[in-house]
Amino acid sequence: MSTTDFDLVVIGGGPGGYVAALRAAQLKLSVAVVEGNHLGGICLNWGCIPTKALLRASEINHLLHDLGQFGFTVDNPRFDFEKVVARSRAVSKQLSGGIGHLLKKARIPVFNGFGKLNGTDGKKRKITVALNDGSTTELKAAHVILATGARARVLPGFEPDGKFIWSYREALVPDILPRRLLVIGSGAIGTEFASFYRNMGSEVTLVEVADRILPVEDEEISKLAHTAFEKQGMKILTSAKPGPLSKGKDDVTVEITTARGTEKLTFDRVISAVGIVGNVEKLGLENTKIEADRTHIKTDHLCKTGEPGIYAIGDVAGAPWLAHKASHEAVMCVEAIAGLPVHPIDITKIPGCTYCRPQIASVGFTEAKAKAAGYQIRVGRFPLIGNGKAIAMGEPEGLVKTVFDAKTGELLGAHMIGAEVTEMIQGYVIARTGELTEAELKETIFPHPTISESMHEAVLAAYDGALHF
């Protein structure tokens, strides 16, 4: 056993953990990271990044089959599926290595293993690390940040088996491009996989237990996404219960029950994307005052747990399960530890993005939630068919929607569906963060020609009326 003392030990090297360590080093705190797998966590290695690489490939495949509208002719466009997957893995590997370089540059030691809280030694917390080489070391720190992330929730009867039933991990490194694919769950993860495989040529059935797909999004956006996906050839079943499942030699048959009855459908593969559970096991929480609620650690507005000196950030600390939320929590938490003034996070100012085709992005209150919260609202809508750049790009389908407080002019929420909206939502996020009203937004000049002009038009539509529709 070797012992090393630090101001801060971060357990977990994902987008919350490694950012916390980097910020701590900037603030001259001695800090170490404990990571048992790959730096960058699920996001970089098995989530955000590799899925975007795959989705980019599927967008290209779609475009290759739709070049006629631009005056091009391509005979029998083909792809090498193994190379498509290999590129996504290479992208993840490159970025994971980049994080290692950043930590090394900041002189932050990384302990490759799994950390567990193990009591105190005076004013210091003890962390026992089971290293991947089989040895053990003990770290001590005045402060500990738990950033252990989360993993896929397992749907009973649809446990991943490495062949027929996939979690997001198997779906990212598939053994085949399935001809018939069932995706269970229409949140961001399920919708992105459904979009990728459909645009690569799979026959996709998307099943959702709620009464609409993308249930956390504004209802109007959900309906537009539903229409767009069906137009692409996707089969969508809502208010649906999947199971039981029976396995054959080369495929599986699944019973799916809806209000119309029960039908048996056969698929080559099934992706289960029904949420996530926090990684709270084997952290030594049982000997602390830390509380977990449905696998997520309870924290206050500054990420403090019930145990003094121990904090939790990112997915393990609960929704929203977003990498950028984890990174922002990391900075806020470390700055609070360092004694700097900080602003607690307002989750209504955190954007959410889904990178399907068409893309979806939102921030703040939906129309329904704004009404439920008691606001008198003004709603603006602008369809992308009225935007010159969208038409020029061949991407005229979509909508930008704004929700304002009718009394104060505060932007309560914004919801977008269409080409590149994930790159534009930040404009509305800045407006929410800066507490801008319709007055400032109406006076903001948007460059022409850009799809972002639709954001301005959606503001005008809530008040004097859009100019171009």
Beta strands in 291-410 (DSSP E): 292-293, 296-297, 310-312, 352-354, 359-364, 377-383, 399-405
Residue 189 labeled ligand binder: yes
DSSP 3-state of 256: strand
Catalytic site includes residue 456: no
Residue 315 labeled ligand binder: yes
**Are 31 and 5 in contact, with CB atoms under 8 Å apart?**
no
Strand order in the sheet with 165-166: 165-166, 269-272, 180-184, 203-207, 235-237
Instruction: Round to whole Å and give the CA distance between 126 and 141.
Output: 7
- Answer whether the bond into residue 320 is a cis peptide, omega within 30°: yes
Instruction: Round to whole Å and give the CA distance between 377 and 393.
Output: 33
**Are 276 and 321 in contact, with CB atoms under 8 Å apart?**
yes
Residue 307 labeled ligand binder: no
Residue 14 labeled ligand binder: no
Residue 339 labeled ligand binder: no
Residue 187 labeled ligand binder: yes
Q: How many CA atoms lie within 13 A of 130 on its CB side?
A: 8
Among candidate residues 8, 54, 41, the one with its CA nearest the CA of residue 310: 8
Give the CA distances from residue 248 to residues 79, 163, 164, 262, 425, in Å, rounded to whole numbers and listed in that order.
29, 12, 10, 20, 45
CA of residue 269 relative to chain centroid, distance: 23
Instruction: Round to whole Å and give the CA distance between 80 and 101.
Output: 32
Residue 47 labeled ligand binder: no
Residue 275 labeled ligand binder: yes
Residue 192 labeled ligand binder: yes
Residue 465 labeled ligand binder: no
Residue 191 labeled ligand binder: yes
**Are 296 and 316 in contact, with CB atoms under 8 Å apart?**
yes
Residue 208 labeled ligand binder: yes
Residue 289 labeled ligand binder: no
**Are 137 and 225 in contact, with CB atoms under 8 Å apart?**
no
Q: Which of 38, 296, 448, 468 is catalytic?
A: 448
Among candidate residues 179, 192, 270, the one with its CA nearest the CA of residue 225: 192
**Are 364 and 352 in contact, with CB atoms under 8 Å apart?**
no
**Are 419 and 359 in contact, with CB atoms under 8 Å apart?**
yes
Give residue for tokens 């319709």.
438
Instruction: Round to whole Å and give the CA distance between 63 and 114.
Output: 44
Tell the burial category of 372 from Cβ atoms under 10 Å away from its Cβ (0-12, 13-18, 19+).
Answer: exposed
Annotated binding-site members for FAD: 52, 115, 315
Annotated binding site: 52, 115, 185-192, 208, 275, 315
Catalytic residues: 448
Residue ranges of the binding site for NAD(+): 185-192, 208, 275
